Structure 1
Amino acid sequence: MTSLPVLKLLIAAPRGFCAGVDRAIRIVELALERYGAPVYVRHEIVHNRFVVDALRAKGAVFVEELDEVPDDAPVVFSAHGVPKSVPAEAEARGLHYLDATCPLVSKVHSQAEKLVDAGKHILFVGHGGHPEVIGTFGQVPDGRITLVETLADVETLAPADPDNLAFLTQTTLSVDDTAAIVCALKHRFPAIQGPRGEDICYATSNRQAAVKAIAPLCDAMLVIGAPNSSNSLRLVEAAERAGAKAMLVQRGEDVDFAWLHGVRTLGLTAGASAPEQLVREVVAKLSERYAIEEEQIATAAENMVFKLPRALQAA
């Protein structure tokens, strides 16, 4: 019998679920326990097909807009946050809703409101069309926030009052790219006001730091996550910049063994909305072709826990 080639597998820690994702999924599960199926969820609760399908099997119904929710059904808002108009519409219809917005996203929402109340115009660093960006823009009146996606965007900004600006950022961006854009904003607009603390969330920063530590030790890196997951895509970019070829996979069946040809040391991580079950699934898939030597590389410890909404705490 031919022995399998050895593959050294360096697994990042921290990886996978963050506290905000844990909380959002638990809210849907507890809502199903308390109210029974169906429980409606506006938008994917988190950007992971495996998670969404598992909740759908338990009785969650995923919709894009509230007009798809029957009048007497409970509805959950996703972890990415929603514009103010969404809970307002839910209240106007008398819908029972639960807000699963990540508390770190809610913090950005609160900052946006306070800055606009103080008369500031906000320059928001983020990716156009992402649910988190749409939700943040929807916290304040139209015209009070301008989206900044790239360094090139900074050069073309023409604010009416350059001395009365503030900036905020999406929570799931590239730490390095965002730092460069913020530096450019401060250079162009020296009076610009920044947030009190870092807007990019701890989990995004920690997962990128872990990838940066592992990628130089690897021939290639696999990132488990969804193609619409901002934080997962940023992990692929971080690996490539650190010197490893990198690929995004959603689960074990997506592993491309031709792409892995010649790889002797492989890095593995998972985005903040990918469950540990998928990490083990990918390892099992790799084990079909390789003798795996698995090593976990820990770069940070995480113990963050977010409280559930009051309506579900007893459950």
Structure 2
Amino acid sequence: MLRRLIPDPFLLFLVGTVLLATFAPARGGFAVVVGWLSLATIMLLFFFHGAKLAREQVIAGLTHRRLHLTILACTFVLFPIVGLIGARTLPNLMPRDLWIGILFVCALPSTVQSAIAFVSMARGNVPAAIASASASQMLGIVFTPLLMGLMVGAHGGGIGLESLAKIAAQILLPFVAGHLLRPWIGGWVARHKQLVGITDRSTILIAVYGAFSAAVIEGLWHKLSPQALALLFAVDAVLLAIGLVMTWGIGRALGFDRADRIAILFCGTKKSIVQGVPMAKVLFPGPQTGVILLPIMLFHQMQLMACAFIARRYADQTEAASDRE
């Protein structure tokens, strides 16, 4: 029980990075160095992601197209619709940049590692989770910027062609290059999973430090009141709750069995901070990035805690049913 109450260690590093940026933000030449280091790690991150993605997993999963289309629709259609309804219905509830951050959460692809881990823990359809999560990450490189262009435009802003070009140069091209080189480097990447994991986390921490440094220098904590942060917490919680309830309900309404419904639940609601932070740095350059990142940082911890609890309950129910048999 105590272990379940301990927060994700990576969250502590994120909080520490935000505190570091608050009290010792990167300025001048050091800020330039942090910016270039962030760009280099972002490109390396997506290069490794391309090298890790096994085409066989995605191709094998396509045999269950109805399930995968349902999961992808939850990720890239359901969540954006919910986010847009909230942003358009209650635009004055939070500052505009926080709403853009919520829309950004809604547009992000699924996670891979944690989604698969929760599906496995809950005794769900693991092969389907692997295929769907991998496809979601790959499609997210294209879908997330396009969705943000549409949603931010509808919310009174816009994402220009320059940002989309940066996505192509800094994220899509390294991803494609890594995937094309997979036959030669895939084995090395698989043998050095720990190094790739360090790259994932260091990319996020460097990007967060750079983004929050710029935001702090521009007066981030003077612009955001405690009330706004409390409302953000509530909005994130409501968004996650709606996603969990609707994905489970959709799976049941469409007649999927329990194992498939578990895959829909976890793969359809998880949102990737690993892809989110680097993409935000590219899509939203400048001080606003720090504010826009707050929703995904908070949502990340919420989804981990909620999904861990739900997965454990489903596992207990499955074990209890097996014992009765």
TM-score range, shorter chain: under 0.3
Q: Which has the higher contact order (CA 8 A, sep 6+)?
A: 2
TM-score (norm 1): 0.23
TM-score (norm 2): 0.22
**Which of the pair is proportionally richer in helix?**
2
Structure number with larger C-alpha Rg = 1
